Chain A
Amino acid sequence: MINNNVSFISRIKNVDENFSICHVRQHKFNLGKTISFDIEDPFISSMEYLISAFGGDLIYLISRIAKKKGIEISDIEGVVKCQLENSLVYLGVIGEKGVPRIEEVSIKIYISTLHSNVEIEKVIEDALLRSPLFNTFKESINIKIEHKLIL
């Protein structure tokens, strides 16, 4: 039986307490704290990369599947929000209980197209079937996906 699993590697080198450098294939990028509560933090946090990956995965797949089906999408954007439970536990606050975890991810996708909502819904359905991130996390996180067609 042929195994079609693929592996991915990221090497993460800590620079100081505020950020690390991640090396993936021939690329590298800075990675900040797990979560940043500081709007002026110069580094992108793990949480922000994660929710961006959630949204990016779907946006990419919707665009690609639509193109293959001959459905023209002139513009597509997504907004991803997540809700973290027990953030004070993450900060090590003595006396706080529970575990810090993402309770809910909501993804809103804005699609500019002249095609019908039924056609777009089918594209999104196919994208969800093929999305590795959605399928990995859908059992453990409440993921809400909405879309809105705009002209």
Chain B
Amino acid sequence: MNKPLLVGAVLYDPKVSIIWEIIADFFVKNDFPMDVVFYTNYELLTNALIHNHIDIAWNSPLAWLHCQHLTGSKCSAIAMRDTDQDRRSHIIVKNDGNIKTIQDLKEKIIAFGAKDSPQATLIPLQHLEDKGLVSGRDFTNKNFDLLVGKHGDHIGGELEAFKSLESGESQASTMLDLNWETWTKDGTISPSDYMILSSTNLFDHCVFAINDSFPKDIEEQWLKVLFSMNYDNPEHKKMMDMEGLKEWKKGRVSGFGPLSEAVDNFNFFKE
């Protein structure tokens, strides 16, 4: 194989390029030439994949559904991080006794992340709707649209939403469970002053996606190299810590139900 396989990814922070350099180097060292092409947003990445400008796309969950939507489900999710599986989003409120149940959010302001963030907007909005609370009718939706097009990859939107809760501008905010865990440990959030009011159903996050026309033998070889990454290897550990995983897993599509429901309900991919 002489021509490098092209993997596409959205880059929102130059430091993230290091992760991809390590991954590409690892593939090259394993006699699998690979190069990475960066895109500024998922729309460009999705277009690149469906038009075969790249071979594999590192898709956000929303980009994955968009690929499915555009190709008539003619693409496959082949791998993901262990931490991409079984995530939840939380609705956070102040621990002052004013809001005890999700129904207490009626007529309140809820702060969300970027409007295209699955974890900080779309899935929590659907969750609230499932509980009988409709945006605009039952509560006011305040989005923090940082870096729209990057599907909430950048945690800034979630952080701004939390700051809005902290300042009293909003009465609740949404965030991914992993961010709640990190921020209550690193002092960003005082765990005694805030509480999880409600959590969404489990969902999956990013995936490596390919077109179904991608040669099966190359897919298998690529996955073999990817799955040989080992957290106990210090070189791999650095990248895996930065990317937030301990193990690459086989891709699955069973975890996109909550987002799929939200996308359909809000007609997100309207033509």
Q: From the candidates B18, B39, B41, name the one contacting A37 in the complex (CB within 8 A).
A: B18
Interface string of A70-96 (1 = CB under 8 A from B): 000000000000000001101111111
Whether the Cβ atoms of A95 and B14 lie closer than 8 Å is no
Q: What would 29 A/B residue contacts be, using CB atoms closer than 8 Å? A: A35-B14, A37-B17, A37-B18, A38-B15, A38-B18, A38-B21, A40-B238, A87-B14, A88-B11, A88-B14, A88-B38, A90-B14, A91-B11, A91-B14, A91-B17, A91-B38, A92-B38, A93-B11, A93-B39, A93-B40, A94-B37, A94-B38, A94-B39, A94-B40, A94-B44, A95-B39, A95-B40, A95-B41, A95-B44
Residues of chain A touching chain B, judged by Cβ–Cβ distance below 8 Å, are: 35, 37-38, 40, 87-88, 90-96
**Interface of A: prevailing SS:** loop
Q: Which residues of A contact B238 (CB under 8 A)?
A: 40
Q: Which residues of A contact B14 (CB under 8 A)?
A: 35, 37, 87-88, 90-91
Q: Which residues of A contact B11 (CB under 8 A)?
A: 88, 91, 93
5 nearest A-B pairs in the assembled complex, by CB-CB distance? A95-B40, A93-B38, A87-B14, A37-B14, A38-B18
A38 nearest in chain B by CB position? B18
Residues of B223-257 contacting chain A, CB below 8 A: 238
Q: Which residues of B contact A40 (CB under 8 A)?
A: 238
Q: Which residues of A contact B15 (CB under 8 A)?
A: 37-38
Q: Which residues of B contact A35 (CB under 8 A)?
A: 14
CA of A88 to CA of B11, assembled, Å: 8
CA of A92 to CA of B44, assembled, Å: 14
CA of A92 to CA of B41, assembled, Å: 13
B252 to chain A, nearest CB (A): 29
A91 nearest in chain B by CB position? B17
A32 to chain B, nearest CB (A): 13
B242 to chain A, nearest CB (A): 10
Q: Which residues of B contact A88 (CB under 8 A)?
A: 11, 14, 38, 40
Q: Which residues of B contact A91 (CB under 8 A)?
A: 11, 14, 17, 38
- Beyond A88-B14, A95-B44: 15 further Cβ-contacts under 8 Å? A37-B15, A37-B17, A37-B18, A38-B15, A38-B18, A40-B238, A87-B14, A90-B14, A91-B11, A91-B14, A91-B38, A93-B39, A94-B37, A94-B38, A96-B40
CA of A40 to CA of B239, assembled, Å: 12
Highest count of chain B CB atoms <10 Å: which of A90, A91, A93, A96? A93
B41 nearest in chain A by CB position? A95
Residues of B97-113 contacting chain A, CB below 8 A: none
Interface string of B36-48 (1 = CB under 8 A from A): 0111110010001
A40 to chain B, nearest CB (A): 8
CA of A19 to CA of B214, assembled, Å: 35
CA of A88 to CA of B18, assembled, Å: 13
B123 to chain A, nearest CB (A): 26
CA of A95 to CA of B15, assembled, Å: 18
CA of A97 to CA of B269, assembled, Å: 26
CA of A95 to CA of B38, assembled, Å: 9
A89 nearest in chain B by CB position? B40
B11 nearest in chain A by CB position? A93
Interface string of B1-32 (1 = CB under 8 A from A): 00000000001001101100100000000000
Q: Which residues of B contact A95 (CB under 8 A)?
A: 39-41, 44
CA of A91 to CA of B11, assembled, Å: 9
CA of A40 to CA of B14, assembled, Å: 15
CA of A96 to CA of B41, assembled, Å: 9
B48 nearest in chain A by CB position? A94
CA of A37 to CA of B20, assembled, Å: 12
Q: Which residues of A contact B18 (CB under 8 A)?
A: 37-38
Q: Which residues of B contact A92 (CB under 8 A)?
A: 37-38
CA of A96 to CA of B44, assembled, Å: 11
Q: Which residues of A contact B37 (CB under 8 A)?
A: 92, 94
